[in-house]
A and B are shown apart, each in its own frame.
Chain A
C-alpha cells in the first residue's frame, strides 16, 4: 500500500543545534502533517500543510519550528534551535483531500536532544 517514508529513523543532536526531519509523503497526496509523540503518550498535532502553506498549527508548534516542501520534494520539519523538551518521536503523515479518507503515517523519527 501507499507508504510515507521518514529519514532518518533516529537522530541525536546537541541542544541548541538545528535539526531537519525529512518526510517523503505518498506521491499523489496533497495534505501533509507533523505529529509529536512522547514515549507512551498521545499523538499531539503540530502542524498541517497544503498548497505550500501552513493551514493550522498547534501551541506545540513553537517559533523555533518551521515546515516546508520545496519544489514538491521532501516535506521537512526544521527545529532551530533545539531544546531538551523537543526529544520525542515525530511522525509525518499525508492524506488526500477530505476527512473521510485515511491518513497515512510514516514510521517516525526518534529525535533525542542531549
Chain B
C-alpha cells in the first residue's frame, strides 16, 4: 500500500475555525495533490505541492510537505460552510503516471 497512518476520519468544526488535515505516505513521491470531493461529485484538485516546496498557499488553503517524514498537511483558515466536503491527498508514481489516494477526511463545517 502507498499509505501509512492515514485513516478515514470525520471532523466537525464551527464556522470561522481553522482546521488542519494530515496524511502520511510510505513510498517516494515528487508531488502531493490535495483534492476535495463534494457529495455526488468526482474529486477536484484544490492545491498541489511539489517535493521542492515546503509550503504552498492558495487563498484560505495552506499545504505543507515534509519529504523527510513523508507527510503532508492541508490547513483551512476561517472555515466556511461551503468547505464541507471530503478531502483527499494523493501521491504520484511518476514511473507509471499514476496517482494513489489516501482514505480522506470528511469535514463538516457547522454554521
Q: Measuring CB to CB, which residues of chain A are less than 8 angstroms from any residue of chain B? A: 4, 31, 33, 35, 40-45, 48, 50, 55-56, 91, 93, 95, 97-100, 102-103, 105-108
Contact = CB atoms under 8 A, between A and B. Distances in A.
Interface of B: 8, 30-31, 33, 37, 40-45, 48, 50, 88, 90, 92-94, 96-104, 106
A105 B44 CA distance: 7
A43 B43 contact: yes
B42 A105 contact: yes
Nearest to B7: A42
Contacts of B103: 41-42
Contact of A99 (B97, B101, B106): B97
B8 A41 contact: yes
A42 B43 CA distance: 11
Contacts of B43: 43, 91, 105
Nearest to B100: A45
B42 A45 contact: no
Contacts, number: 69
A45 B92 CA distance: 12
B101 A35 contact: yes
B95 to A, nearest CB: 9
Contact of B97 (A42, A48, A102, A108): A48
- Tell me which of B8, B30, B45, B99 has the highest count of chain A C-beta atoms within 10 A of its own C-beta: B99
Contact of A45 (B8, B31, B45, B98): B98
B42 A91 contact: yes
Nearest to B29: A99
A22 to B, nearest CB: 15
A98 B48 CA distance: 13
Contacts of B93: 56, 99
13 contacts: A31-B97, A33-B98, A42-B101, A42-B103, A43-B43, A48-B96, A55-B98, A98-B97, A99-B92, A99-B97, A100-B31, A107-B41, A107-B42
